[in-house]
Amino acid sequence: MSRPRILIVGAGFAGYRAARTLSRLTRQQADITLLNPTDHFLYLPLLPQVAVGILEPRRVTVSLPGTLRRVRLVLGEAEADGIDLDARTVRYRDPEGGHGTLGYDRLVLAVGSVNKLLPVPGVAENAHGFRGLPEALYLRDHVTRQIELAAGEDDPRTRAARCTFVVVGAGYTGTEVAAQGQLFTDALVRRRPLGDGVRPRWLLLDIASRVLPELDEKLSHTADQVLRQRGVDIRTGTSVREATDGGVLLSDGEFVESRTLVWCVGVRPDPLVEGIGQPLERGRLIVDPYLQVPGHHEVFACGDAAAVPDLDNPGQFTAMTAQHAWRQGEVAARNVAASLGIGSRRPYRHRDLGLVVDLGGVKAAANPLGVSLSGPLAGAVARGYHLAAMPGNRLRVAADWLLDAVLPRQGVQLGLVRSWSVPLDTASPEPARVPERQPSARAPEQSEATEGQS
Ligand SMILES: Cc1cc2nc3c(=O)[nH]c(=O)nc-3n(C[C@H](O)[C@H](O)[C@H](O)COP(=O)(O)OP(=O)(O)OC[C@H]3O[C@@H](n4cnc5c(N)ncnc54)[C@H](O)[C@@H]3O)c2cc1C
């Protein structure tokens, strides 16, 4: 008899953990295939540290072929209308535009989420998201460039605009980007003063009444205090009415001149799951507590793309966090194995172990096991947590942290990622293949520098 074919789509927190657990549980008894656009798992929570030059980009990646020995990696993206539950096949597009089809006996969908766009005029054209390495590298270059251009700028108004950075969305991504960003630009300016004592200004906006609105109030209070002490201009109860290439019109009527708009308003499930034609909850594929799609017990889903019942809070679904995705990946793997006669299945149940929000320097806000911490102790807990949670590359990450503690940070532009290659709408079918649109969509970086906001 041929071995059962297990297909996992997506190698983020949920898919990577599912693949790793399945390769251990099934040994040689099943063929495991992992379909993912890249050859690495990306540890997203440390992305803000890549954007400000603390970590080199490869540090936050873990090689899939290097760590998943019994898993066959297929590079590609499942197509939105390419999942045929009756035929049990998934059609995909490879990185060079070719197409292929994979059959399966068990399917694990773990495609995560994409930037959430709101219908605000000018945002799609003038903002950048923060979901992946290209965006982090782009932001690092862009911010460095703005400071360098500002230093040589004679017009005080243009100089101030270049040194004003607007972050929208005070969830953990936006909060960390603003907190780290202020330290980064202050460090750049110390080496290359802007004249007249001008200091870079970071604005953090959220329509909610506090930063980190979805997290514990104590975490929020700690983060708020650290950000304000650092000089970040926090505007709660405020959103963006319009974005232009010269700045941002806020909902209170103020126009903030700026060349930088970072869009961190949250994420929505990958639109791929919509194409399957099964019931959704706010765009997430509904599964039962065993992470199986009702009516299709050979299909499992987990992570941000799945609406997983929260058994501790009946009627609710688990949050879109790395912690849930990582643990759901393991439960999905165990239940797939159980469906093949290996072990027994179990429902997903998990209580939050707490969260850490790295605020840069030695500061963080953390509540491990419900105990609220702030200051350097929280900073140490946050770094220890990330090292423990990363599935690889720990030594390199720790080495970068050590180097950053003793050496000045390198503030140079590499120009590897251009504005047009990181459009805000990462849900678009071909986000990475827009060079053809380059001349009309965005000018290259050099001309962008004089052109205005990116
Ligand atoms: C900047 C940032 C910071 C964050 N910080 C934290 C934090 O501190 N704590 C926390 O708990 N959470 C954090 N999160 C949220 C957390 O990262 C997500 O909840 C988590 O990544 C979800 O895991 P996932 O496996 O569902 O999706 P992901 O980790 O996003 O992985 C999805 C995978 O699927 C692949 N994929 C997508 N579409 C397709 C397709 N069509 N075909 C094949 N593969 C596909 C993607 O390339 C990716 O590899 C952060 C998120 C971001 C963006």
Asked whether residue 281 falls in the same domain as residue 402, the answer is no
CA 62 to ligand 1 center in whole angstroms: 14
Which ligand 1 atom sits closest to the C-alpha of 305? Answer: 26
Mutate to test the pocket of ligand 1, among 321, 383, 387 (most ligand atoms within 8 A of CB): 321
200: CA distance to ligand 1 center in Å? 31
Q: In terms of domains, do 358 and 288 share one? A: no
Same-domain check for residues 213 and 316:
no
Spatial separation of the C-alpha atoms in residues 296 and 184, rounded to whole Å? 49
Count other C-beta atoms under 10 Å from residue 402's C-beta.
10
Residues 231 and 363 in one domain: yes
Pocket of ligand 1 (CB under 6 A): 9-15, 35-37, 44-45, 47, 77-78, 110-113, 130-131, 172-173, 270, 272, 303-305, 320-323, 325
pLDDT in tens, the chain (454 residues): 689 999 999 999 999 999 999 999 998 899 999 999 999 999 999 999 999 999 999 999 999 999 998 999 999 999 989 999 999 999 999 999 999 999 999 999 999 998 888 889 999 999 999 999 999 999 999 999 999 999 999 999 999 999 999 999 999 899 999 999 999 999 999 988 887 778 999 999 999 999 999 888 999 999 999 999 999 999 999 999 999 999 999 999 999 999 999 999 978 888 899 989 999 999 999 999 999 999 999 999 999 999 999 999 999 999 999 999 999 999 999 999 999 999 999 999 987 778 899 998 889 999 888 888 888 999 999 999 999 999 999 999 999 999 999 999 888 999 888 888 888 875 443 333 333 333 333 333 333 333 233 2
Instruction: Tell me: do 213 and 194 sit in the same domain.
Output: yes
- Whether residue 321 is contained in a domain is answered as yes
Number of helices (H), then strands (E), in the chain: 13, 26
Q: Which atom of ligand 1 is nearest to the CA of 357?
A: 8
What pLDDT is attached to residue 292? Answer: 98
231 with 302, same domain? no
Indicate which CATH number applies to the domain containing 303.
3.50.50.60
Which atom of ligand 1 approaches the CA of 304 most closely? 26
Look at residue 182 and tell me if it is in a domain.
yes
To test the pocket of ligand 1, the residue of 17, 42, 44, 356 to mutate (highest count of ligand atoms within 8 Å of its CB) is 44
pLDDT attached to residue 400: 97
Domain count, the chain: 2
Tell me the two tokens of residue 70.
Answer: 């019994």
Distance CA 179, CA 441 (A): 30
380 and 324 inside one domain:
no
If one counts every other C-beta atom within 10 angstroms of the C-beta of residue 410, the result is 10
The residue nearest atom 20 of ligand 1, judged by CA position, is: 322
Q: In the Cβ-directed half-sphere of 303, how many Cα atoms lie within 13 Å?
A: 29
Pairwise CA distance, residues 346 & 332, whole Å: 9
- Residue 437 inside a domain? The answer is no
Which atom from ligand 1 is nearest to the alpha carbon of 12?
A: 31
Can you spell out the DSSP letters for 66-116? HH-TTEEEEE-EEEEEEEETTTTEEEEE-TTS-EEEEE-SEEEE---EEEP
Q: Which atom of ligand 1 is nearest to the CA of 136?
A: 1
Nearest in space to 62 (alpha carbons), one of 389, 448, 412, 421: 389
Residues 303 and 324 grouped into a single domain: yes
Q: Is residue 180 part of a domain?
A: yes
Tell me whether residue 66 is in a domain.
no
At residue 42, the pLDDT reads 98
- Nearest CA to 75 out of 11, 152, 156 is that of 11
Ligand 1 center–CA 13 separation, angstroms: 6
Say yes or no: 260 and 273 in one domain: no
Ligand 1 centre from 181 Cα, in Å? Answer: 22
Can you give the CATH number for the domain in which 157 is found? Answer: 3.50.50.100
Residue range of the domain that includes 250 = 123-265+354-421
Q: Are residues 184 and 261 in the same domain?
A: yes
Cα–Cα distance for residue pair 258/453, rounded to 1 Å: 7
- What's the confidence (pLDDT) of residue 1? 61
Given a contact cutoff of 8 angstroms between Cβ atoms, the answer to whether 380 and 395 are in contact is no
Atom of ligand 1 nearest to the CA of 177: 1
